[in-house]
Amino acid sequence: MMTASLVMDPHPSVLHAGDTVGQAVKLIMEHRYRNLPVVDEQGRYLGVFGINTLLRMVLPPAVVVEKGLTTAPFVTDGLHDLYLRLAAVEDRPILEFINEDAAVVTSDTPLVESLLVLYRTRTSVPVVEGEERRLVGMISYWDVGSHILEQGH
């Protein structure tokens, strides 16, 4: 059976539990990553940190918190205000901000189901293995696209 392992990148870039927000932001901005998996020293998957996490950090907490403001057209914060929010947390460990609930698939998740998760989450999806959830790869739109297009050759 075709599974997630067929289309995943088995050597993805990762962030480590001890990295700071500043280090993570530098990495995702330099390489324009949308989402990076975060792992501990044993390579166990902990969560994801991505461009959306960065956006969440620079917006007023009142608009990103659950049941917060749904719109804020009256707020006049400028770029400097947004930067100050990021600067206030750049030395903090990324573990405080990672998304632990992001969707993941396992290496034996069927191919179509894996792509459905990718389609619904609209960002790269970590692939984990075993009860300890060891990170074994990432599925991205681009990897999937190139694997599908190869079928025409």
Partner 1 sequence: MHSEDAVPMVFGWDAMWFAGILFVVTYVLIMSEKINRAIVATSAAALMVLAGVISEQRAIDGVDFNTIGLLTGMMAIVAITRRSGVFQYLAVWATKKVNAQPWGILVMLALVTAFLSALLDNVTTVLLIAPVTLLITEALGVKAYPYLFAEIFASNIGGAATLIGDPPNIMIGSAVGLSFNDFVIHMLPAASLVMVVSMLPIYWVWGRHLQASEENRRRVMNYRERDAITDRVLLIKSLSVLALVILGFAMAHTIGKQPSTIALAGAALLLLLDNLGRKPAKQTESVHATFSEVEWVTIFFFIGLFVVVHGLESTGLLTLVAGEILTLTGGDLTVTAMAILWGSAIASAVVDNIPFVATTIPLIKSMAPTFGGAEHLMPLWWSLALGACLGGNGSLVGASANLIVAGFAERSRQPIGFISFTLAAFPLMILGIGVASVYVYLRYL
What is d(CA 116, CA 40) in angstroms, rounded to the nearest whole number? 28
Contact with partner 1 (CB under 8 A): which of 18, 43, 68, 145? 68
Residue 72, interface with partner 1 (CB under 8 A)? yes
> 62: exposed, middle or buried (C-beta count within 10 Å: 0-12, 13-18, 19+)?
exposed
Please count the other Cβ atoms lying within 10 Å of the Cβ belonging to residue 136. 20
Closest separation in Å from C-beta 85 to partner 1 = 9
Per CB under 8 A, the list member of 67, 120, 149, 153 interacting with partner 1 is 67
Site for partner 1 in 6-65 (CB under 8 A): 60-63, 65
Q: CA 73: distance to chain centroid?
A: 28
Assess 75 for contact with partner 1 (CB under 8 A): yes
Positions in the binding site for partner 1 (CB under 8 A): 60-63, 65-69, 71-77, 81
